[in-house]
Structure 1
């Protein structure tokens, strides 16, 4: 069903394949990596291998013998983190292919665990591949009148495209159960599924809040080290975002804890049992949910190499999202689910302190409204379009 929506990532991946020997495509399970890779493979001379299939794993028991036969073809390897020993082989393959005149478009590697996969590939394939993250569906990939559905259900294709809200929620509940009971144990991590579910749900209740590891540890009855390990895992699986605080102002008393978001709004709503738009609008998490939804879309739209953080000082100066674009421009973005285009004095204070180049309020109105001190209020869609144009 996800084929009904053209992924905006496809062009970037294709361009990277035309410029590099290989591309590493990262993203959580069920986000559409395989569908995108197979679509690309159909347009090229390519072979597809899935490391979750025993037969495909057996093909690569003698990897050089097989891969030498595929010289000049695009080789797609799905769930490659399940066979980490392949990375050293791939380094030799890339170098041999270069010597044979095949310099680009040789490997498309798909993985579901970012830090693990990045560590393995960075050591072996440094300078030979580029990295791209496939996110759930973004606002730019759906129609304007589907934005509320995207916010409620999230952007995982099977969830977003479900026939009803009930069917969508059931899919997400099954997804969460599968991750906890099958996928996470496959990483050889001994974490009780029920404990991790409680932890994940606690994070959903605190969507957009500062990390309070001691409170979480106390509520779970585990150590602070365990909380750190659980959080690292969910971040690594690209299910949770750990938004760091701005740290450049050494002389200021700034908040040092990161803010935590469930990256897909639909997953946050499933963890909280929110099925309908009416239930979401009446839920205490609505503000944090909207903020997280906007932040994911804004970060995805920002130019490659953008650094994201937030700002909060002990004096009350605060900015929801700071985007430091490549080359230095700093965008200060406040996010409010309101039709009133106003920000707090603390936002202006912080933007002035940081000398932010762009000052934007993302609000629920449709009109772009100029404000004081260079502030412009606009819709999320318009803010995304400005970020996209900043890359050109």
Structure 2
């Protein structure tokens, strides 16, 4: 079993809040994580009839039978639980670490907590594997994680054919069951078409109208579907960073498919060798690295802000991280030895925002300087060496 980096965050939040809610995409390892972290706790699977039927019949009675130290998996399946849970928690409001809720397709769960458990529950977003969690687990952990993505099963399995079967089954489950449960009236074929289009534009500017035109629907419909995928932790819309400067700054978000394994599945990339020559290789690397950096830094530095920067003239930086008012820009390159000629956008951003430091993130092993405050940093060291990462982020 792979130890997850979220255990410390779980312990900290259980010591302060009566309820902790763990969210994340289906099959990212939430159940395995929580049952290994809290092996003595009672476990209720709200998708198993023998577990959820007593809850539906009399939620208050069943909750009191279970008592403290109970995990409710896929808790959004039983929304009747939330108001009862509020009353139960408030009877001994000062006690912490009593209940854990798990959820994947999250709108109902978040709504229930917002309405019934506001101020009583802390949140943890559990992602698929981070590089820091799997480094050393394979001959090329970085390459494997990039190609297969971070969902535990496809990352750990030995052969590519089984991985293909897993992603086929995963996409069917999400499209045919979870989206229907959310009230999305779209055929499986149309949703697969949307997914394919999203994967082809991953790492690019988000333009719902372009997708809508290709699908023959209106842009509001496309935006609604993408919002659902975003809430299910499968896509990310990264917002632009802009300040009141003379240059016109693009204000549309960029869209990323968050798991590179899903991205490659819908792009038809079936082997690592195919990825090496695929026309979307650069965009795939950018999507992978941006997601890994954001997820890693969010865990280290709650409250950090994440943006990109792009002018109407086309100068762009892939990722800006804001920590306590300080901006750190990162340009992501799949090139084996990035040179000064690849940093025009980064230098433009540094000049416009008056930044002293900027970084190029690449798949190599050596750090080196390109001068004028620009350093090239290895992605593996950035993601797995906390002390090095803190020095890059300017954290003492």
TM-score class, shorter: over 0.9
Q: Secondary structure at the match of 1:60?
A: helix
Which residues in structure 2 correspond to 1:235-246 (within 5 Å)?
Answer: 235-246=230-241
Which of 190, 201, 207 does residue 206 from structure 1 map onto? 201
Alignment partners' CA distance in 1, 2:282 and 2:351: 25
Gaps of 5+ in 2: none
Q: For the Cα contact (< 8 Å) 2:329–2:358, is it kept in 1?
A: yes
Partner of 2:127: 135
Q: TM-score, normalised by structure 1?
A: 0.92
Partner of 1:331: 328
RMSD (Å), alpha carbons: 1.8
Query: 1:358 deviation in Å?
Result: 4.2
Query: 1:118 deviation in Å?
Result: 2.3
Alignment partners' CA distance in 1, 2:244 and 2:50: 55
Q: For the Cα contact (< 8 Å) 1:301–1:388, is it kept in 2?
A: no
Q: For the Cα contact (< 8 Å) 1:153–1:169, is it kept in 2?
A: no
Partner of 2:166: 171
Relative to structure 1, the CA distance from residue 388 to residue 134 in structure 2 (aligned partners, 3 Å threshold; closer, same or farther) is farther
Which residues in structure 2 correspond to 1:134-153 (within 5 Å)?
Answer: 134-144=126-136, 145-153=140-148
Q: Aligned pair 1:217/2:212, yes or no? A: yes
Q: Secondary structure at the match of 2:92?
A: helix
Query: 1:235 deviation in Å?
Result: 0.7
Deviations 1:342-382 (A, max 9, x none): 33222111122223364111012211102222111111122
Partner of 2:118: 126
Which of 306, 321, 327 does residue 308 from structure 1 map onto? 306
Q: For the Cα contact (< 8 Å) 2:308–2:320, is it kept in 1?
A: yes
Which residues in structure 2 correspond to 1:1-392 (within 5 Å)?
Answer: 4-42=1-39, 44=40, 46-61=41-56, 62-71=58-67, 73-98=68-93, 103-144=95-136, 145-249=140-244, 251-302=246-297, 303-325=301-323, 327-342=324-339, 343-356=342-355, 358-384=357-383, 385=385, 386-387=388-389
Relative to structure 1, the CA distance from residue 388 to residue 48 in structure 2 (aligned partners, 3 Å threshold; closer, same or farther) is farther
Gaps of 5+ in 1: none
Relative to structure 1, the CA distance from residue 84 to residue 365 in structure 2 (aligned partners, 3 Å threshold; closer, same or farther) is same
- Report the more deviating stretch, 282-291 or 357-366: 357-366
Q: For the Cα contact (< 8 Å) 1:318–1:346, is it kept in 2?
A: yes
Q: Secondary structure at the match of 1:214?
A: helix
Q: TM-score, normalised by structure 2?
A: 0.92
Query: 1:26 deviation in Å?
Result: 0.4
Q: Secondary structure at the match of 1:119?
A: helix
Q: For the Cα contact (< 8 Å) 2:334–2:362, is it kept in 1?
A: yes
Relative to structure 1, the CA distance from residue 353 to residue 114 in structure 2 (aligned partners, 3 Å threshold; closer, same or farther) is farther
Q: For the Cα contact (< 8 Å) 1:330–1:358, is it kept in 2?
A: no
Deviations 1:211-234 (A, max 9, x none): 121211111111111111111111
Relative to structure 1, the CA distance from residue 159 to residue 217 in structure 2 (aligned partners, 3 Å threshold; closer, same or farther) is same
